[in-house]
């Protein structure tokens, strides 16, 4: 399905209305990652782009993937997108959260894999460290040492959980940086 620039602008506007600045940055940078990965994985860019823009719109709510998928379905239905297209997008959003190895087969379509991997690759970076600190401010105040270790483990887990080979390769420099960064911490 062809999506116009105006439609993308409208979706961006909707996403921006739902996200605070850090999450918006995550979303927009995840789209840049997804653009490269979608090309490498030969995934449908229209589905990937819309899904990646909307994947975290319910961030902050309990079960944000499920709630966000429903919000996206409603929004896209109101805007009269094709029903099959909507379901593909909704599916990508539904399965974007971190999964353990034995659950990875839940992510079935190429497009969902690209969205899933891209939003992790984006966090395996200097940005990912800031995002983690923003989300765990109180934990750092309670226990610096333990939370620092947890931050490393969380970022490593994201790297481990990337599904596609190409995605793993794209994240490798970021993961090297993360390891170096933590070596510097006392």
Question: In the 8-state DSSP scheme, what is residue 125?
Answer: S
Nearer CB in complex with Fe ion: 60/145: 60
Nearer CB in complex with Fe ion: 17/83: 17
Closest residue to Fe ion, judged by C-beta, is 119
Which tokens belong to 130?
């800031």
Q: How far is the CB of 144 from Fe ion (least distance, A)?
A: 26
Nearer CB in complex with Fe ion: 86/128: 128
Nearer CB in complex with Fe ion: 56/117: 56
CB 98 within 8 A of CB 118: no
Q: How far is the CB of 52 from Fe ion (least distance, A)?
A: 9
CA–CA dist 122, 117 (Å, integer): 9
CA–CA dist 155, 121 (Å, integer): 10
Q: How far is the CB of 119 from Fe ion (least distance, A)?
A: 4
Q: How far is the CB of 136 from Fe ion (least distance, A)?
A: 16
Q: How far is the CB of 13 from Fe ion (least distance, A)?
A: 19
**What is the DSSP track for 47-87?**
HHHHHHHHTTTTTTSTTHHHHHHHHHHHHHHHTT--HHHHH
Which tokens belong to 45?
């860019």
CA–CA dist 145, 138 (Å, integer): 13
> Should residue 56 be labelled a site residue for Fe ion when binding is judged by CB under 5 A?
yes
> Should residue 117 be labelled a site residue for Fe ion when binding is judged by CB under 5 A?
no
CA–CA dist 29, 159 (Å, integer): 17
- Candidates 92, 119, 174, 178; binder of Fe ion (CB under 5 A) is 119
Candidate segments 52-60, 73-81, 86-94, 103-111, binder of Fe ion by CB under 5 A: 52-60
Binding site for Fe ion (CB under 5 A): 56, 119
């Amino acid at each position: 399905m062809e999506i116009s620039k105006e439609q993308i602008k409208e979706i961006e506007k909707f996403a921006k209305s739902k996200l605070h600045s850090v999450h918006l940055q995550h979303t927009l940078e995840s789209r840049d990652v997804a653009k490269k990965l979608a090309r490498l994985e030969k995934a449908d860019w229209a589905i990937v782009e819309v899904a990646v823009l909307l994947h975290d719109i319910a961030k902050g709510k309990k079960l944000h993937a499920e709630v966000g998928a429903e919000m996206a379905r409603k929004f896209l239905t109101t805007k009269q997108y094709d029903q099959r297209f909507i379901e593909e997008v909704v599916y990508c959003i539904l399965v974007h959260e971190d999964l353990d190895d034995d659950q990875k087969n839940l992510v079935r379509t190429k497009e969902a894999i690209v969205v899933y991997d891209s939003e992790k690759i984006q966090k395996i970076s200097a940005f990912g460290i800031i995002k983690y600190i923003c989300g765990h401010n109180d934990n750092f105040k309670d226990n610096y040492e333990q939370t620092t270790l947890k931050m490393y483990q969380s970022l490593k887990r994201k790297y481990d959980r990337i599904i596609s080979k190409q995605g793993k390769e794209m994240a490798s420099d970021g993961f090297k940086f993360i390891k170096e960064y933590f070596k510097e911490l006392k």
